[in-house]
Amino acid sequence: MALNLATFRKRTLTAAIFVVVMLTGLLWNHWSFFVLFSIIHFGCWIEYQSLIGKIDPGYAAITPLHKYGVMLAGWCILLYFTSDELFTLFGMHLHELGWWMGLLFLFLLPIVEFLFAGKFQLKNIGYSALGLLYISLSWGLMIDLRSSWGGSQVDIVDKDRLFFPLLLIGTIWINDTMAYIVGSLIGKTPLSSISPKKTWEGTAGGALLAIITVTLIWIWQFTSQLWWHISIIALIATIAGTFGDLLESKLKRLAGVKDSGAIMPGHGGFLDRFDSLLIATPFVWLYLMIMINS
């Protein structure tokens, strides 16, 4: 697959703007981090519901109360994973607010589906439940990485709570970029029929370069100790991220669309941009849980 310079320039320009917006949200403070991923959360939900509606027209006919209610229910998961130490507003802990609002939505949404759709559409409830796992839980765990991990709680690094989110996001960005470049230059063997443009050469090259890069940065900036944990986290992120990319490609293929949205020229929509991170986040979070409890 030859490198398309025009496409690469457009992707690079929009990616640069995207990086500025992302870094502002990530680095400003914990509130900007929460607002950033709240916006991403709702953007992913809008595109997810659009894709599922194209795959199954029955889901496209859900009531507005169901459509927006499940988004708010998912946002409650993000609220739930905030820490009381960081996220307190007017004396109220967002963690507790997320818990009680989440319980309310859990009971109300099935009732709303029954009353306003004329019958209980279990299939539509199932699609929404999958969306809660796919989107809301993933971003909730990302908020947990920002809220609760770091400092003395984690032996791997004595840094602030931004370390693991930045490590995860940085690994995914490096992997995606390097996979595209390597695949464009030397890619010949298709990775999967789901995404014909992806190659084994690009996938392997991107993963290897991402793992090497983040590991060397760790050794250079911090310490040569525990470098294997960083390499393992990067490996998990690249493998899970690749599956996340393929999963979203499968959804788009079933829906008959090229991109999930059009928010970023050359990159598509929210799901196109964050598909890898959606699947990588829970697996990295799980590894950290196992590592700390072992």
CB 178 within 8 A of CB 209: yes
% of the chain exceeding 90 in pLDDT: 45
Q: Are strands 195-199 and 92-93 parallel, antiparallel or unpaired?
A: unpaired
Phi and psi at 103, nearest 5°, equal: -60, -40
> Which H or E run includes 88?
strand 88-89
Torsion sign, CA atoms 151, 283, 293, 100: positive
pLDDT tens across 165-194, in order?
A: 999 999 999 998 899 889 888 878 888 888
Instruction: Tokens 């299939």: give the residue.
Output: 123
Please state which of the ranges 1-15, 113-127, 246-260, 280-294 shows the lowest mean pLDDT: 1-15
CB 291 within 8 A of CB 146: no
User: What is the C-alpha to C-alpha distance for residues 80 and 93, in angstroms, rounded to an integer?
Assistant: 9
pLDDT recorded at residue 86: 74
Across the range 246-250, mean pLDDT stands at: 94
Across the range 204-231, mean pLDDT stands at: 87
* Most confident of the following: 43-52, 99-108, 170-179: 43-52
Does pLDDT of 82 surpass 80? yes
Q: 184 in helix, strand or coil?
A: helix
Q: Find the DSSP H helices in 195-269.
A: 200-221, 227-255
Across the range 270-285, mean pLDDT stands at: 95
pLDDT tens across 115-133, in order?
A: 666 666 788 889 999 999 9
Residue-averaged pLDDT of the chain: 85
Domain range summary for the chain, segments of one domain joined by +: 5-287
CB 267 within 8 A of CB 15: yes
pLDDT recorded at residue 122: 81
Across the range 55-75, mean pLDDT stands at: 91
